[in-house]
Structure 1
Amino acid sequence: MSSKHNISHTTEIAVPIDFVWKTLFDLQDWKQWNKWTLLATKDASATPAEGMPGILKACYEGNDKDWQTFDFVFGEILHGDDKKQQQPVRLLTWRGSVASGCLFSGHHTMRLERIDDTTTRLIHAEHFGGLLPTLGLGLPYKTLNRNYRLMNESFQAHVEQKFKEQEI
């Protein structure tokens, strides 16, 4: 069942897809641009992989206070080509649930698509399921929607600046 609280934001980034992916996949770098969500593997030295447990820290106000911690599992991580579109695609996903998803589930995706040699599309989405989202309970959905948009904007500025500095 689809939730009315599902979120999706798309942002174009004026940087080649491989550079954007390298920056997105560097979870340690998220602290430099992301005031709302931080991801880590449970084993801090491990490289994220599908099925690996992780820890998500969320700060709904983006003020570096009142961080909440949630367990999650990395979903599909794709660094390859979309065979249908014959285009490079990069995908980072994670999911969390409460009561095996009956009460709550969230499936978060950050997908990169190559527009051209110098431009990448970021599609940042989360799909919610379970009883709580159906009732509008469990999370501040309007705040999350705003935060994901702000995350896209912050990531775009960060990666474009980082790319520009690398070219100098």
Structure 2
Amino acid sequence: MQKICTDIEINAPAEQVWHILTDFENFENWNPFMLIKKGKLETGSQLEVTLHPPGSKPMSFKPTVLKVDPVREFRWIGSIWIKGIFDGEHAFRIEELDNSRTRLVQCERFRGILAPLIMHIMGENIEAGFEEMNLSLKNVSENAAKIHI
């Protein structure tokens, strides 16, 4: 199994970060890495996701939402191509540090026959995409928090 985890501290309340992170309709306005084109934030819902890792071609897939714990976590599982070839379980965790600071943890566990090869080729680009998304979420959340002060 292969795994990528990133985290970032955000100077904004957890509720604000969660709201932006789960407002799929507005992802294209701030998220350079991931677009969620369809789907609801409900356990069992199927999403339509396109990832744009830096330096790589976009990848589209249809993951299924596994868990939604408001203002704490949501996760999905999906496959590129056929299940068992290259599968990933993606998690977003929100940790409230205090009333105005939050940590976002974004992780994905990759499995499947081609996971080691694909991660060798694209792992750094995928991790860079996570980092870009985290930084963009930080900037948007902190700007929104300043407006609400």
Query: 1:7 and 1:137 mapped to 2: Cα distance?
Result: 13
Q: Secondary structure at the match of 2:96?
A: strand
Matched with 1:7 is 4
What is the Cα deviation at residue 62 of structure 1?
Answer: 7.9
TM-score (norm 2): 0.88
Matched with 2:139 is 157
Structure of greater relative contact order (alpha carbons < 8 Å, 6+ residues apart) = 2
Runs of 4+ aligned residues of structure 1 deviating over 3 Å after TM superposition are: none
Query: 2:37 and 2:66 mapped to 1: Cα distance?
Result: 14
Matched with 1:58 is 51
The aligned amino acid for 1:77 is V
The gaps in structure 1 that reach 5 residues or longer are 80-88
Q: Does 1:75 align with 2:66?
A: yes
What is the Cα deviation at residue 40 of structure 1?
Answer: 3.2
The aligned amino acid for 2:134 is N
The gaps in structure 2 that reach 5 residues or longer are none
What is the Cα deviation at residue 117 of structure 1?
Answer: 1.1
Alignment check: 8 A CA contact 2:55 2:125 kept? no
> What is the aligned counterpart of 1:22 among 19, 22, 31?
19
Matched with 2:115 is 133
Which whole-Å deviations, capped at 9, do the CAs of 1:16-63 have from their partners, x for residues lacking one?
Answer: 111111111111121121111111334xxxx32011111001222389
Alignment check: 8 A CA contact 2:20 2:137 kept? no
The aligned amino acid for 1:56 is V
Which whole-Å deviations, capped at 9, do the CAs of 1:73-131 have from their partners, x for residues lacking one?
Answer: 1121112xxxxxxxxx511211112543x222100111001111111110011110111
The aligned amino acid for 1:30 is F
How many residue pairs get matched? 147
The more displaced of 49-58 and 66-75 is: 66-75
TM-score (norm 1): 0.79
- Name the larger-Rg structure: 1
Q: Secondary structure at the match of 2:47?
A: strand
Matched with 1:90 is 72
What is the Cα deviation at residue 166 of structure 1?
Answer: 2.7
> What is the aligned counterpart of 2:37 among 27, 35, 40?
40
The aligned amino acid for 2:90 is H
Alignment check: 8 A CA contact 1:33 1:154 kept? yes
Q: Secondary structure at the match of 1:53?
A: coil
The aligned amino acid for 2:109 is H
Query: 1:109 and 1:121 mapped to 2: Cα distance?
Result: 13
